[in-house]
Amino acid sequence: MSDWLIYRGEGDPAPDRIGALPPPPPWRTFAGEPTGLPVPEPDSSTTRRLGGRPLLPVQDEEAIQLINAALYLRRPLLVTGEPGSGKSTLAHAVAQELGLGRVLQWSVVSRTELKQGLYEYDAIARLQDAQLSRERGGPDAPGAHDIGEYIKLGPLGTALLPAERPRVLLIDELDKSDIDLPNDLLNVLEEGEFRIPELERAAKREGGAATEVLDDDGRTVPVSGGRVRCRAFPFVVMTSNGERDFPRPLLRRCIRLHLEPPRNERLAALVHAHFGEGAHEVNRDLLERFGRGDDGLRPTDELLNAIFLTQHTDAKGGNRREEIARLLMRPLEQHPPQR
């Protein structure tokens, strides 16, 4: 394995390796003042996706090199591939191996707007609190200093906080977005910062004092002058199922990686992680059946479901592997139509 690789796809945590990442190129250098916040612990979503054991090493040299290119160049990684090919799991694998903590997840739908990923301002709650304050004999309106109580940073906004270590941000299914969202993302990802107008106005009234807001991890963080400026650019994974094309300016600013559906070693590593050592050998018949399928849209959780059920039927003395495999792993066009 080449010495230049920071992420190696080996599965075992190596948090010190991120410290060997060289400084960014001059055109990707950011200078936000560090907050000093510790890296949050991984949450259950990483365990669900990766299993409770380290993944077996999977040598996919091209994918590993492209992931490292994104780390070195501080560029987003645009990952394409069919559903079930492991696009979202990739972000969790990098976070686990490099000790980058909880993965920030932003799931995109057709109504998603850029501001939702950056921050939310609950103006209605602030007005209601002001009304309650007046009814109780308090001030007529809340002061500028407490506006931070009604602002919460979204996943993208939290990823751009000025941390010393990069956060991992998963922007899932970007191809489902409105046509404007990819273009709107361009400036934020290029500049590594964004404005919060409500806090900018408050900062002017308060003489530039920092305002404390909540981030996506539920922590209180200071924002100075109404601007969030990153320090270590986050490792951004944007996934796409190929349902639409993206604008060329966005493509030029991304490292592009295409994942084929998992087969052979990748499937064995997945089964090992979720069911333990030797599970891929015991269930080789199911692995082979899954690998023979010509339906590229079949998700890998069908295989995991089949293995889980066969383990329990085998434990009860019944051998129903063939029946379970036939029911759960048949091609999609053979499923009964929905009523």
Q: DSSP states of 184-223 as a string?
A: HHHHHHHHTEEE-HHHHHHHHHTTS--EEEE-TTS-EEEE
pTM summary value: 0.83
196 close to 119: Cβ distance less than 8 angstroms: yes
Q: Mean pLDDT across the chain, nearest whole number?
A: 84
Residue 336 scores a pLDDT above 70: no
Q: What is the pLDDT of residues 257-281, one digit of tens each?
A: 998 876 767 777 778 777 777 777 7
Task: Name the pLDDT band for 144 (thresholds 50, 70, 90).
Answer: very low
For residue 13, which of 127, 99, 75 has the smallest C-alpha distance? 99
Residue 173 scores a pLDDT above 90: yes
Task: Name the pLDDT band for 293 (thresholds 50, 70, 90).
Answer: low
Residue 208 scores a pLDDT above 60: yes
253 close to 189: Cβ distance less than 8 angstroms: yes
Task: Name the pLDDT band for 246 (thresholds 50, 70, 90).
Answer: very high
Query: Measured between alpha carbons, how far is 238 from 173 in angstroms, rounded to an integer?
Result: 7
Place of tokens 């001059």: 26
Rounded average pLDDT over 184-210: 87
* 254: DSSP letter: S
80-84, 117-121, 236-240 — which is least confidently predicted?
Answer: 80-84
Place of tokens 């009814």: 135
6 close to 17: Cβ distance less than 8 angstroms: yes
pLDDT at position 120 = 95
The proportion of the chain whose per-residue pLDDT surpasses 70, expressed as a percent, equals 83
Residue 39 scores a pLDDT above 50: yes
Query: Measured between alpha carbons, how far is 158 from 247 in angstroms, rounded to an integer?
Result: 25
Residue 224 is which amino acid?
A: S
